[in-house]
Amino acid sequence: MTRKPWNVGLIGCGFMGRAHSNAYRRVGNFFDLALQPVLKAVCARTRSDAEAFAERWGFESVETDWRRLVERKDIDAIDICTPNDTHREIAVAAAAAGKAILCEKPLARTAAESAEMVAAVERAKVPNIVFYNYRRVPAVTLAKQLIDEGRLGRIFHYRAVFLQDWTISAQLPQGGAGLWRLDKAVAGSGVTGDLLAHCIDTAIWLNGGIESVTAMTETFIKERQHNLTGRIERVSIDDACAFLARFANGSLGTFESTRYARGHKALYTFEINGEHASIRWDLHDLHRLEYFDHGDDTVVRGWRSIHVTDREMPYMKHWWVPGLQIGYEHSFVHQVADFLEGLATGTAAEPTFHQAQLTQHVCDAVLKSAASRQWVDTPRM
Ligand code: SOE
């Protein structure tokens, strides 16, 4: 099968730059697609970083100014893997240059910033997507399938947590490479934009829109040394956030996230309780979906743990044989596969910038509610 080359220009060489590069390299080996990603160019702040990354991952060329990359005629798609404060400017320029855009989450620091990005891609009519990768863990996609089939019936409760413990030390500085997530000017917020954004995206996808929220946040370590200035500076991000939500379908949501849950590295779990059935998922055991069906015979009724590896299960026919599981990195491969499939069929893969704007609005409402100690409605879109 002859595939048309699809030239990717990646901006950012951190953790996400690696996850996305791996996806572009792998996708053609496992999915039959009309387009073949070509790692055309990578952009980093310094030439040595860009060159080292290019050599490791197989990029053909390097840039140190993202504007030059965006202007290049040999680039079809711009992938934004940079810190959050740069997403808007890069995306607006890439849209104006007619490139497809794949952006790491969260779309931007605030809903006002991301609204400009939504307007830019819609004006330019360029394909776009946001990497909320957990939608494409097969067990999570299976949860969506079960809900859409009506197996849960009316949904009453949605419960999500995302717990980490990597910022407990007061000696950990803020700012700069790897630690910009602690710097509000760069990240926009703490756990709300970084971790709860994942939970919110999955929740909206599985259970529909969130209409109102009431939240509390806390910053446990009030001052940290800033890596870029060398000074002790105020910490303005939310270290922890918990909120209650009302969904448009009448169900109630509870969400909690923190980077201060000793013993938890990336414990993202959700549980959904419906009239007929419940489902539960845990990132630490990501290839399993737990399912309770009240319709089962009483004597065998109980939670079952579905090992999501059969060919009939989402994405799994592309991988190994039943019983052999896949992992975190595959969710990015699936996202790229769906995006390319969407380009070929004309049906955009989700979440587009427009759809990700819903999550931005919920994040903004959560932070506003925490500051005001009031319930806050999300805007109708
Ligand atoms: C933060 O530690 C982080 O890397 C997030 O930025 C990712 O989005 C999440 O998937 C894992 O945790």
Whose C-alpha lies nearest to ligand 1, atom 9?
Answer: 195
Task: Ligand 1 pocket test: pick from 195, 239, 332 the residue with the most ligand atoms within 8 Å of its Cβ.
Answer: 195
Q: Is the CB of 328 under 6 A from ligand 1?
A: no
Q: 257 has which bridge partners?
A: 162, 241
66 φ, ψ (degrees, to nearest 5): -60, -25
Task: Report the mean per-residue pLDDT for the chain.
Answer: 98
pLDDT, average across residues 151-160 = 98
Region of 178 (left: φ > 0; alpha: ψ -120 to 50; beta: rest) is: left
- Residue 10 in contact with residue 17, Cβ under 8 Å? yes
| Mean pLDDT along residues 144-156 | 98
Q: Where are the alpha helices (DSSP H) in 247-352?
A: 328-345
Q: What is the pLDDT of residues 116-126, one digit of tens each?
A: 999 999 999 99
- The pLDDT of 170-199, averaged and rounded, is 97
**Is 292:225 a contact under the CB 8 Å cutoff?**
no
Query: 162, 195 in Cβ contact below 8 A?
Result: yes
| pLDDT, average across residues 91-99 | 98
Candidates 136, 168, 194: which one to mutate for ligand 1, based on the most atoms within 8 Å of Cβ?
194
> If you measure from the C-alpha of residue 163 to the centroid of ligand 1, how many angstroms do you get, rounded to a whole number?
10
- What percent of the chain lies above the pLDDT cut of 70? 100
The Cα 60–Cα 313 span in angstroms is: 36
Indicate the DSSP class of residue 164: -
| SS3 of residue 362 by DSSP | helix
**What is the CATH T-level fold of the domain 135-377, as seen in this structure?**
Dihydrodipicolinate Reductase; domain 2 (3.30.360)
Tens of pLDDT along 241-287?
999 999 999 999 999 999 999 999 999 999 999 999 999 999 999 99
**Cβ atoms 89, 114 nearer than 8 A:** no
Whether 1 has a pLDDT exceeding 80, the answer reads no
Cβ–Cβ under 8 Å, residues 168 and 260: yes
Alpha-carbon span 101 to 250, nearest angstrom: 35
- Amino acid, res. 84: N
Output the CA angle 128-341-129, nearest 5 degrees: 15
Distance 272 CA to ligand 1 centre (A): 23
Rg (CA), the chain: 21
CA–centroid distance, 23 to ligand 1, in Å, is 17
Residues of the chain with CATH 3.30.360.10: 135-377
CA of 195 to the centre of ligand 1 (A): 6
Q: What is the mean pLDDT of residues 197-207?
A: 99
User: Could you report the per-residue pLDDT of 284-308, keeping only the tens digit for each?
Assistant: 999 999 999 999 999 999 999 999 9
Is 194 a pocket residue for ligand 1 (Cβ < 6 Å)?
Answer: yes
Whether pLDDT at 372 is above 80: yes
Residue 380 predicted with pLDDT over 90: no
pLDDT at position 381 is: 77
Q: CATH 3.40.50.720 in the chain, residues? A: 4-133
Q: Which whole number is the average pLDDT over 339-365?
A: 98
Which CATH superfamily includes the segment(s) 4-133? NAD(P)-binding Rossmann-like Domain (3.40.50.720)
